[in-house]
Structure 1
Amino acid sequence: MKVSIFSTCLVDLMFPDVGKAMVEVLERLGCETDFPASQVCCGQPTYNSGYLEESKQAMINMMRAFEHSDYVVGPSGSCIAMFHEYPHIFKGDPQWEMKAIALKEKSYEFTQFIVRVLGVSDVGARLEGSATYHRSCHMSRLLGETETPFLLLENVDGLQLEPLKNSDNCCGFGGTFSVKMPEISEQMVDEKSACIAETGAEYLISADMGCLMNIGGRMSRTGKPIKIMHIAEVLNHASPANIRPSAAKGGAFL
């Protein structure tokens, strides 16, 4: 099965090991991966800020980049959810509507692809310790995926999952939201951090590095450090080299 990797801006620029882990897991599961070099941003930051027309060129570039891909898989539910918005954005456009629909129909978040397309719920990963999982807003509310991360984590040998209070609450990142409304964002991430600290977990896991960067950075600054891991790193046999302290590259906005 051929899979094109959509790296996303944040993973590509700041957390490349997450992208590498995703590729290694997919290839172990029998996928042949490629990386279309012309991909850039999906257009979400400017689109969410109200600049619709200015965002379309980036979106068109992404449709072109993945036009000949069988499947497109990314390590962020948020960015994949943006692909799923393209048919709405280009509705009625004679040149791009059908290409937008085609990209939506073949695009999956990493854990979603493993479970929904490959039919795998146990990748043979092992991680000793306790962890709690943060649901990202876009993945659960816009992409509509709430099950696949848990199905995979439940089969990680040695991992004890701790329930997270108010798990549906936003962490306050929201991309440009945390920059434009830092006071509100800070209160939201403080509430999320307190709930995570209450679990006593050693690891905070999520499927979006934006959330992990925001929460991990804030917890480090407030004296509640926790090890943060993207779920791709956990599923990639969770070697010690994949585990980063919460202060690493985190909390850029708070």
Structure 2
Amino acid sequence: MTRTALITGASSGLGAEFARQLAARGMDIVLVGRDRDALEDAAARVRESGARAEVLAADLLAPRQRERVVARVADAQHPVDMLVNNAGFGLPLAFERNDVEDEARHLALHVEVPMRLMRAALPGMLARGRGRIVNVASVAGLVPRGTYGAAKGWLVSVSRWANVEYGPRGVSVTAVCPGFVHTNFHERLGLPPGQEGVPERMWLNAPDVVREGLRDVARGRSVSIPSARYKLLVAASRLLPDALVVQAAKRGR
């Protein structure tokens, strides 16, 4: 039986790659994002694999628009078997100079929105005895790194708890925690390619991140850190003083 995945932030980057790989595995896709034209382009690529693609254009920070997405996730007549919370954006690390309203929107998109969508998805998934929730977090959520890391840290923590709580009832919850990935994320921060201050060896490719992440999702893991180099960095950070870790984590945006 064909299953359905709903992906937020699906028009580009990791969201579009999740859509591509899940469609190739035979899932139908619901693509959520603000830019309808970009979503339609992504949906056309999904349909090339023979999967069905549904476009749901919505600004997840606008309550009425967000409620349409919540309702779609909770729709028992058209169940969502996998929820991928991927929508997000970054801010400069200088918290003291950032606009506080930008920080509030940043917190809402990375914490409140996934929380609401998880809450909408869980009752139906638990009733059916199956389901997957994927929270796209970041290695930044595992080390002290500004408010972005703090918000992603919430996703990591709730995923670890929820996977233990709901896994025995057939619903896995996995936080996928990549490092720096070649997408348009940094360009949206105003950084041209090559000016992020991060060595090339630390960059990952979106197809690899999603492939490794989905492998860990299938294994029912709470946390997925794609690539051995970032696994090693996270392990090392746990042994070092915060001052050293914070200083090292300042590289890149």
- The alignment's TM-score, normalised by the length of structure 1, stands at 0.37
- The alignment's TM-score, normalised by the length of structure 2, stands at 0.37
